[in-house]
Amino acid sequence: MKNGRSRELFATALGLIPGGVNSPVRAFRAVGGEPFFAVRAKGAKIWDADGNEYIDYVGTWGPAIHGHAPPQIVEAIREAAEQGTSFGIPNPLEVEMAQWIVNAVPSIEKVRLCNSGTEAVMSAIRLARGFTKRDKIIKFDGCYHGHVDSLLVKAGSGALTFGHPDSAGVPAAFVEHTVVVPFNDEEAVRRTLDANRGQVAGIILEPVPGNAGLYPPRPGFLEFLRRITTEQDVLLIFDEVMTGFRLARGGAQELYGIKPDLSCFGKVIGGGLPVGAFGGRREIMDHLAPLGPVYQAGTLSGNPLAMAAGLASLRLLSTETYQRLDESGAQLEKGMREIAARANVPVAFNRVGSMFCGYFTEGPVWNLEDALRSDRARFAKFFHGLLHEGVYLAPSQFEAGFISTAHGSEEIDQTLRAVEKVMATL
């Protein structure tokens, strides 16, 4: 496989950008080797600077739910750009986006738009503390909520991949109010709330954690969290940056029938452009400036290009979208399981809708501790083998894979042929 141009670009990037990347997980450090440099993407495919073609299961980490560069999104951006790229004053598109989110997510009465998932979570945490006048936040190990200082504790995604889930540069004082418990562990949550009675502003979680690979909530776990937080006046905060509009139009909260107090979004609602949003009950949201005492702001919040791209993406979501995503997911899962069994390679394959992760371990994988049992060296070999066969998985065992509506039966079959070939070499 030719990679001369990507190698040249990476060599130059290394002299200019820390690690040669603008986000750590892209550096391939978890799987070894050097990242390719993408120059074009369309539908389920992505091409690198050397002309190599890949079926893409990263989907720019979630936004590309309709595949890359759907004509409707490209046209929406083109049209919006001709009217100006940013106004710094309210524009009709941000009202339309807010209406769309409120209509799609029953737990949301008001929403504030911002520029990234990290911003959305950081702001939601500040709002929860300002509204409850309590300081403590409970999070779950392995869950990643962006690089928010107070939540970079036993975080997932790149933080987990690089083995420093507790980042340098975060003063102890910034995390003294953050309490971490194992995911899917009701007893640990109950004990922690009892030990911090009256001090906890909120419990934040990815309802389907997708930053330590992918594992679902155990049956009843989300209902338990909703019940115990209501009993103790603790806010339940769903970080749906990854799952929002991906697992259902109303996100994981629709899929599991839970109404959190606050929700965070990103990715899909920006159609590939920088975006974030957080929303919830009116009585909470109205604590935000300029109405209330909790400050939050952003130069490019509600940016017309991101709104135009996001609205085009949301307009493409239909019941059929989720049916197709689930069918493709089921086809991939069935094939992966059969191939691993034939090859006698232990793989715990988790999937919820169009999000999936194959762990190289017997399994089951229900939490971070289970996930950490995976054979990362075997994953790295699998990753590079697939890449050589033209299939691009997330470059870390601790990331989720994403299927788009552009991944049809042919793309899945092509993927499974590559998986069969590579699995035999592990």
Residues forming contacts to ligand KE4 in the complex (CB under 6 A) are 23, 25, 61, 116-118, 121, 144-146, 157-158, 206, 210-211, 239, 241-242, 266, 399
Are 201 and 132 spatial neighbours (Cβ–Cβ below 8 Å)? yes
Instruction: Tell me how far, at minimum, the Cβ of 286 lies from ligand KE4, in Å.
Output: 24
Q: Tell me the closest approach of the beta carbon of residue 59 to ligand KE4, in angstroms.
A: 11
- Of 248 and 423, which CB lies nearer to ligand KE4 in the complex structure? 248
Neighbours of 335 (CB within 10 A): 17
CA angle 258, 259, 263 (to 5 degrees): 115
Q: Measured between alpha carbons, how far is 285 from 272 in angstroms, rounded to an integer?
A: 26
CB 265 to ligand KE4: min, Å: 9
Bridge partners (DSSP) listed for residue 236: 203
Judged by beta carbon, residue 101 or residue 416, the one nearer ligand KE4 is: 101
57 is known as an active-site residue: no
Q: Give the Cα separation of 351 and 29 in Å (integer).
A: 25
In angstroms, the first-to-last Cα distance of the chain is 20
Q: Which of 141, 239, 261, 370 is catalytic?
A: 239
Would you call 322 a catalytic residue per the annotation? no
Of 54, 144, 215, 256, the catalytic one is 144
Distance in Å, CB of 63 to ligand KE4, minimum: 9
Which is nearer to ligand KE4, 118 or 331 (by Cβ)? 118
Would you call 239 a catalytic residue per the annotation? yes
Q: Which one from 185, 267, 359, 392 is the annotated catalytic residue?
A: 267
Nearest approach in angstroms of CB 340 to ligand KE4 is 24
Q: Provide, rounded to whole angstroms, the least separation between the CB of residue 135 and ligand KE4.
A: 21
Name the residue number minimizing CB distance to ligand KE4. 117
Catalytic residue annotation: 144, 239, 267
